Amino acid sequence: MPYLIIFLVIVLIIAFKSIKVVKQSEVYIIERLGKFHKIADAGLTIIIPFVDHVRSVVSLKEQTMDIPPQGVITEDNVTITIDTVVFYQITDPAKAVYEIQSLKKGIEYLAITTIRDIVGKMSLDSTFSSRDSINNQLRILLDEATDKWGCKINRVEIKDINPPADIRDAMEKQMNAERNKRAAILQAEGEKQAAITIAEGQKEAAILQAEADKESQIRRAAGEAEAIREVAVAKAQEIQMVFESIKKANPDDKLIQLKSLEALKELANGDANKVFIPFEATKALSSLGAIKEVMKDDKK
Q: What kind of architecture, by CATH, is found in domain 63-163?
A: 2-Layer Sandwich (3.30)
Q: What is the pTM of this model?
A: 0.55
What confidence tier does 294 reach under pLDDT thresholds 50, 70, 90?
very low
- Residue 106 · residue 149 · CB < 8 Å: yes
Average pLDDT of span 265-290? 51
Domain residue limits, the chain = 2-59, 63-163, 173-248, 251-300
What sections of 130-164 are H helices per DSSP? 131-146
What confidence tier does 105 reach under pLDDT thresholds 50, 70, 90?
very high
Asked if the model's pLDDT at residue 144 lies above 50, the reply is: yes
Backbone Cα Rg of the chain: 61
* pLDDT tens-place string over residues 9-43: 777 777 777 888 888 889 999 998 888 889 988 88
How confident is the model at residue 269, as a pLDDT? 59
* pLDDT tens-place string over residues 229-240: 887 777 777 767
Identify which has the larger pLDDT, 120 or 257: 120
* pLDDT tens-place string over residues 188-224: 988 889 889 898 888 888 888 888 888 888 888 888 8
Bridge partners, 59 (sequence order): 26
How confident is the model at residue 13, as a pLDDT? 78
Of the ranges 139-148, 205-214, 248-257, 280-289, which is most confident? 139-148
Per cent of the chain over pLDDT 90 is 22
- Residue 22 · residue 54 · CB < 8 Å: no
- Residue 142 · residue 111 · CB < 8 Å: yes
Residues 6+ apart with CB under 8 A from 99: 148, 149, 150
